[in-house]
Structure 1
Amino acid sequence: MTSQMHFRLLLVLLLSDLYSIIDVKLASARCLSEEMDLLLQLRNNLTYDASLSTKLVSWDEQSDCCSWRGVRCDDAGHVIDLDLSSDSISGNLDDSSSLFRLQFLRRLNLAGNSFDSTQLPTGFGMLKELVYLNLSETGFAGQIPSEFSRISRLVTLDLSTFSPGYILSLKLESPNLNMLIHNLTRLRDLRLDGVDIAAAGDDWCHALSSALPDLRVLSLSYCNISGPLDSSLAKLQSLSVIKLDGNIFSSPLPDFFAEFANLTALSAGSCGLTGEAPQRIFQLPTLRTIDLSNNRELGGSLPEFPENGSLETLELSYTYFSGNLPDSIGNLKMLSSLRLFGCNFSGPIASSISSLSQLIAIDLSVNHLTGSLPSFSLSRKLSSIGLRDNKLIGKIPLEWKGLKNLTFLDLSDNSLSGELPAFLFSLPSLETLTLPNNRFSGQISELESASLSPLEQLDLSGNNLEGPIPKFVFKITGLSTLSLASNKFTGTVELVEFIELKNLFSLHLSYNKLSVGTSGSDSDFSLLPQFNSFMLASCKLQKFPFLKNQSRLNMLDLSENQITGEIPNWIWEVHDGYLPYVNLSHNHFTGLQEPYHFHTHQYLDLHSNLLIGGIPLPPRSAVYVDFSSNKFTSSLPADIGNHLSSAMNFSIANNSIVGGIPLSLCNASLLEVLDLSGNSLSSSIPSCLIEKSRSLVVLDLHGNKLSGNIPDTFPGDCKLETLDLSFNQLEGKVPESLVNCTKLTVLNLGHNRIGSSPSTP
């Protein structure tokens, strides 16, 4: 046999042995039948939505279970990894589940399912090989079983949950936190957000520092833990992520947090932190996220930031941080989110912010910032700019034309000026443009509809804008809010022009130089959008617009117009009678069309009209009622009995009238402001009206013909702040019980026949 033949034979033998080894290996990697049976039992005992499931629904009994979605096996065919997260699973999971017989499981993820607030099974403690367990957002409730402390190999434990309204559903009481983790010494990642731990600072801090020396991720948001933050936490030098939001520490942020050399994220919002935050924390070279928002007693100032800082998110909103924004903020080249809303910062906005190329969102609203707007010349990723309620001046920079990703812009309540650049209305992504209460002036240029921004909210109110409303506004078909109020717009606008804005929810045109026309048929007006807010004060309206088909209206303001005749009775039926805010003041209305039926109205203003007859009885829901400066007298409508019965569910027998002020008015139990001044009401003041000062804050009856004594019935819990009974024919003495009204700041009894005053409250 030649050497070449020997070589070939040897090669065949070697390959044969290799293939045998590979066959054995592959065979051993196949799913074990008993473990496949356990998985199938688990699936059959779980409830899941087949239309939403991507894992359980795909398990095929004819295939190797190690190839099933969410399943991974080791070389011996044991299931070691089971991931059923977000698979629309619901129902019950108890200790008898086959899940707990998968004894080789090393990783288990059931997150994002719903187990209907059932108790956590103790069976999890049987899975002693687990190194990873994720039960976050699974709907389990009640005490975390002590058996969890037996899973001593755990490296990651996630039991975090947030119920609606942050109602804590899981709790650590017995066992407590210390008893749970004292055996879990290998933990690197602990997430118990939303678990009711109810422990004081020294307890939970010492438990963590003594049991988990190598902890890297600590997430205990909304856990009902308290402070102060104990110095024992300083032992956890491996910490990379700290999340403690929503607890009540009522203590300073410890300086030792700045000693954590690996810290990448610190989140401690809404924790009642006090004092001054250590500047060194912001200078940690590893830190990418810091959120200390909603700690209103936490102050401090921003430091000088080192070059090439790693910060990506800086969130200090609703704190008492102050000082200037340092120019070194431009060193944070990775910064994508800067939110300092509602702080106390002052001075100009650092120009270096414009060089932050990764910036996506910036909110510096409600501070004391001065100077001009940043150019954002390199911030082309910006999607949100919030700078409202500062002291900014100047014009909108031309460089903003390049902000193609901008979706939200709020510059309201500043002193910005100049004309509005046309490009603002053609930014390709802009959905919200809010510029009220500035000094913008001039006309708005017309634009082609093809280039319009996809605006949903447009608020230009409270400026000095002139000329006609641009026609392109009526072509922004996605608009839901349009407010042009308190400008100097001129011309005539017909209401039917808004028919094409199908999504319009809120329309505010008040206080311009506009004339709003109501030409068109009732059928035309039925095609108007379904408004929530319809505000047309001082719009030279001659006719009550036909709004009978409005099914969502909550706020109606037609004040300061020129509408005559009767107030139509259908207006009280709009939105099924739920119309909380109605202002029809300063018109020429002469009466209320009968029969009318008040429903749910909280703010009802009919003052300064020509209304006659008896005082309309406000609904029980009324909080603010102003019927002043009309011609109401003690005379009653002819159908007063029917009116009272239908409007207030009272019979005529229960509606005695005293001087034109009906006693049933006292049944509006929520009433805080009542103004009947400037009418022709006579006779005496009902004593029940004075008794109502336990809810009334303002009572104004001045300028009538009221007589008799002021009832001495002011209650001990009187809430009146304003009482004006002047210019009537009242007599007698100032009632002694008036001393009960300790909050009274305005009292006018002048031009009556009243004698001596009571002792000073």
Structure 2
Amino acid sequence: MDVILVTGQCLSNQRVLLLQLRNSLTFDSSISTKLVQWNQTTDCCRWNGVNCDYAGQVIGLDLSSESISGGIDNSSSLFSLRSLHRLNLASNNFDFAQLPPEFGKLTSLTYLNLSESGFAGKIPSEFSQMTRLMTLDLSTSFYSLELENPNLKMLIQDLTELRELYLDGVNISAQGYEWCHSISSSLPHLQVLSMSNCYLSGPFDSSLLKLRSLSVVRLDGNPLFSSIPEFFTNFSNLTVLSLSSCDLLGAFPKKIFQVPTLHTLDLSNNRLLEGSLPEFPENGSFQNLVLSYTKFFGRLPLSIGSLGLLSMIEIRSCNFSGPIPYSLASLTHLVSLDFSSNNFNGSIPSFSLSKNLTEINLYNNCLTGGIPFSNWEHLENLVFLDLSYNFLSGNIPAPLFFLPLLKVMYLSNNRFSGRISEFAIKISNLLGLEVIDLSSNSLEGQVPKFLFQIQALASLSLSSNNFEGMIELQIFENLKNLVDLDLSYNNLLVSARDSNSAFSLLPQFTTLRLASCKLQELPDLKNQSRLMTLDLSDNQLHGEIPNWIWELGNGQLRFVNLSHNLFSNLQEPYVFHRHDYIDLHSNVLHGEIPIPPRSAAYIDYSSNNFSSSIPADIGNHLPSAFFLSISNNKLTGIIPGSICNASRLEVLDLSNNFLHGTVPSCLIEKNSTLKVLNLTGNNITESKGTPFQQKFQPGQNARVSAINI
């Protein structure tokens, strides 16, 4: 609310009405900063949230964010404050109570803000009686209000003084011609039109051109299914145009980019909207440019560097290409830059003058060269850095890890090489980094010791590099925030030799990946109560698979990969829980096939020594499975008919066993979900004894892309 100086002394009847209002409202006194201080001993015109005119009449009431709950009674004293010009009840929780029609009695109101206040139901027709309103805000993120009777036209037809209309989240459900004409014919002075997520449809109607003062247009989240007309360029005061997630079609008019007053344009999440960027005018007003998830294409013009006020540019997942203009380095107000998932090539700009940058996201492009850290040392506000999935090379400069506010660093899937040098710095300076991903590069040498001293570290991935040396698992026991660790596929030797008590001090992981780490002993992970992903594949582990493995994460372990080891059997008794992914292939497991849990989507038991028959009811245990392989074992017997109950199965591989009998007909029916069926290396026959492959004609099942029988 605007500040109104208090010069009059509170009138007694006004004090009585305010106290009655206070006593009728339910609010949390520990949160309240206004109502909790109202009392009879002080002038009510000096109460927090209250403004009076010279005569002592209450003309302003701000009870926003007062933790008010419950409803407002129709007889509330609020509706007797007839001199109110401004009323703000935003950000409370009226528990989805109906909007009282008595608001219509406050005919002196010029400002009414009920946004995010928790009201529900139909907006009363009496709201149209507040004909002096200049600002009306009924926006809600709960989608709990609707305009039906009155409809939009009936609500606003007498509110001719409105300058700002906020109905975000209100169910209006109107066609383009209807809502455009209702607004343009009733609100000649409108400056702000904010109706996001209102179930409005298109197309835009040219009647909107009557709104000569229109400055802000927010229509995000409406299913407009429309092109954007060029007449938006005629709004000479246009500053904000936000049309994200509107199912926009066709080509976006380039001239709109050149509206001199426009500072915010958001067209994101319109996947059928096409366009390219024009040359920008000198000293353009743009501050925020968001085009992510559209079909915009082409090169970024060099003139983008002339947008001296540009603060945010997000063009994620478009079709831009060519080099990133070096002129971006001159943008001193730049805070957030997201060019991810495009086709940019060439080198990374220096951003030499962009000292306010907090985010640089260049993920998934075709960038080459190195990290220009000599120009980045001044990026002291940088919080998020993603350069992953490019073709960047050279060394990773160690000082990059010590930018003071950096929390997230993704450098994976590049061509970085060499060693990361140890860096002389006080441990107290290692405060900020929470995520480090250096995976899938060609880094070598010892893992820098400073990585094990970053107390805030929550995720560390060093997989698929050439790091070497030995790492004791206990080195991570001081990183209490670490939940995601991946050391897989290096030349590391990870040692798990220590007492059980030492492993009990390890952080509580949700993901632990130690594939190909030369592990010879299974780490004692019995205390890992949050673990959801465990990968110990391609090691030298042997003996039984302990039954406590399946209990990890308090039964919430989802992903288990113990493949490419020397495990001989599963310790009895064991109980599978809600595992989604179980990979035990390439061990020396023998005996009966473990019955997978019903939750499992991926099961691989291949290349072991299982010698049982396939359980008759196995298909009943596979309602979620899309992949099942028990190939290269010593299975006997037939393929049970229950396999037909595995209705989502896409890959079935039972090859190289000692199976006989016939193939259940469901596996080759046209409505089968199977895409790969491999039964080679068995003795599968038709019912008359003829080998099945002599009778089967490839291509019978159009959905199966590979059949080997």
TM-score range, shorter chain: over 0.9
Aligned pair 1:747/2:707, yes or no?
yes
In the other structure, the counterpart of 2:537 is 559
C-alpha distance after superposition, 1:644-678 (max 9, x if no partner): xxxxxxxxxxxxxxx34342453221111110100
Aligned to 1:465: 443
Unaligned runs of 5+ in 2: none
SS in 1 for 2:127: helix
Letter in 1 for 2:60: D
Per the alignment, residue 69 of structure 1 pairs with 48
1:544 aligns with 2:522: yes
Matched residue type, 1:368? N
Alpha-carbon separation, structure 2, partners of 1:362 and 1:430: 15
Q: Please state which structure has a larger fraction of its residues in helix.
A: 1
The separation in 1 between residues aligned to 2:162 and 2:671, in whole angstroms, is 59
CA–CA distance in structure 2, aligned partners of residues 73 and 225 of structure 1: 40
Listed as ranges, the matches of 1:116-195 within 5 Å are: 116-163=95-142, 168-195=143-170
Change over 3 Å in CA distance of 1:720–1:27 after alignment to 2? closer
Say whether residues 1:701 and 2:680 are aligned partners. no
Specify whether residues 28 and 275 from structure 1 end up closer, same or farther in structure 2 by C-alpha distance, changes over 3 A only: closer
1:238-257 deviations in whole A, cap 9, x for unaligned? 10100000001111111111
2: distance between equivalents of 1:47 and 1:737? 76
Structure 2: how far apart are the matches of 1:265 and 1:91? 36
Structure 1 position 717, deviation (Å):
3.3
Give the stretch that moved more between structures: 734-743 or 413-422: 734-743
**Structure-2 separation of matches of 1:417 and 1:271:** 40
Matched, 1:201 2:176: yes
Using the TM superposition, give the Cα deviation of residue 564 of structure 1 relative to its aligned residue in structure 2, in angstroms.
0.6
1:661 counterpart SS class: coil
The CA deviation at 1:126 is: 0.3
- Residue 103 to residue 683, structure 1, CA distance change in 2 (3 Å): same
The corresponding residue for 1:624 is: 602
The aligned residue for residue 725 of structure 1 is: 679
Q: Establish whether residue 33 from structure 1 lines up as the match of residue 43 from structure 2.
A: no
CA distance in 1, matches of 2:697, 2:708: 16
Change in Cα spacing, 1:103 to 1:170, as seen in structure 2 (3 Å) is same
Q: For 1:160-187, what per-residue CA distance to the aligned partner results, in whole angstroms no more than 9, with x for missing partners?
A: 0002xxxx21000111000000000110
1:679 aligns with 2:641: no
Indicate the SS of the match to 1:747. Answer: strand
> Alignment partner for residue 668 of structure 1, among 605, 616, 622?
622
Deviations 1:29-57 (A, max 9, x none): 21111111110010001011111111001
CA contact (8 A) 2:322 2:346 kept: yes
Matches within 5 A, 1:541-620: 541-620=519-598
1:716 is displaced (CA, Å) by: 6.0
Counterpart contact for 1:448–1:472, Cα < 8 Å: no
The answer on 1:526 being equivalent to 2:504 is yes
8 Å CA contact 1:336–1:360 kept in 2: the answer is yes
Q: What stretches of structure 1 of length at least 5 have no aligned partner?
A: 1-25, 635-658, 750-761
SS for the counterpart of 1:448 is: coil
Tell whether the 8 Å contact from 2:330 to 2:353 is kept in structure 1 after alignment: yes
For residue 730 of structure 1, report the CA deviation from its aligned partner. 1.1
Secondary structure at 2:665 match in 1: coil
- Residue 91 of structure 1 is matched in structure 2 by 70
**Higher mean C-alpha displacement, 387-396 vs 229-238:** 229-238
* Corresponding residue of 2:386: 410
Q: CA deviation at 1:58?
A: 1.0
- Separation in structure 1 between the aligned mates of residue 10 and residue 698 of structure 2, nearest angstrom: 87
Structure 1 counterpart of 2:379, which letter?
Answer: L
Deviations 1:325-369 (A, max 9, x none): 111001100011111111110000000000000001100000000
The AA in structure 2 aligned to 1:586 is H
1:58 aligns with 2:37: yes
Partner of 1:103: 82
2:101–2:127 contact (8 Å) kept in structure 1: yes
Contact 2:203-2:225 at 8 Å conserved across structures: yes
Residues 84-142 of structure 1, C-alpha deviations (whole Å, 9 max, x = no match): 11111111112111100001101000001110001100010000000000000000000
Taking the aligned partners of 2:286 and 2:66, their CA distance within structure 1 comes to 35
Q: 1:445 to 1:27 in 2, by over 3 A?
A: closer
Compute the RMSD of aligned alpha carbons: 1.5
Pick one of 427, 438, 444 that aligns with 2:420.
444
Q: Do 2:474 and 2:506's aligned partners in 1 also have CA atoms closer than 8 Å?
A: yes
Taking the aligned partners of 1:586 and 1:523, their CA distance within structure 2 comes to 28
Residue 737 to residue 98, structure 1, CA distance change in 2 (3 Å)? farther
1:478 to 437, 456, 463: 456
Task: Note if 1:711 corresponds to 2:664.
Answer: yes
Output the amino acid matched with 1:367: N
1:228-627 paired onto structure 2 within 5 Å = 228-397=203-372, 398-450=374-426, 451-452=429-430, 454-627=432-605
Partner SS, residue 575 of structure 2: coil
Q: Is the Cα contact below 8 Å between 2:623 and 2:646 reproduced in 1?
A: no
Deviation at 1:27, TM superposition (A): 12
**Cα distance between partner residues in 2 of 1:453 and 1:368:** 35
* TM-superposed deviation, 1:712: 2.5
> Residue 491 of structure 1: SS of its match in structure 2?
strand
Matched position secondary structure for 2:199? coil
Give me the whole-angstrom Cα distance separating, in 2, the residues matched to 1:602 and 1:31. Answer: 68
Which letter does structure 1 place at the counterpart of 2:196? S
CA contact (8 A) 2:117 2:140 kept: yes
Looking at CA atoms only, which structure, 1 or 2, has the larger radius of gyration? 1
C-alpha separation between the residues in 2 aligned to 1:440 and 1:364?
A: 21
**Greater alpha carbon shift after TM alignment, 278-287 vs 707-716:** 707-716
Structure 2: distance between partners of 1:230 and 1:515: 68
Asked whether the equivalents of residues 160 and 187 of structure 2 are also in contact (C-alpha less than 8 Å), the reply is yes
Give the structure-2-normalised TM-score.
0.96
Report the 3-state secondary structure (helix = DSSP H, G, I; strand = E; otherwise coil) of the residue aligned with 1:500: coil
Report the counterpart of residue 3 of structure 1 in structure 2.
Answer: none
Mapped partners of 1:391, 1:453: distance in 2: 32
How many angstroms apart in 1 are the aligned matches of 2:666 and 2:6?
Answer: 95
Distance 1:288 1:461 in 2: 39
Closer, same or farther in 2 for the Cα pair 1:736/1:143, shift >3 Å? farther
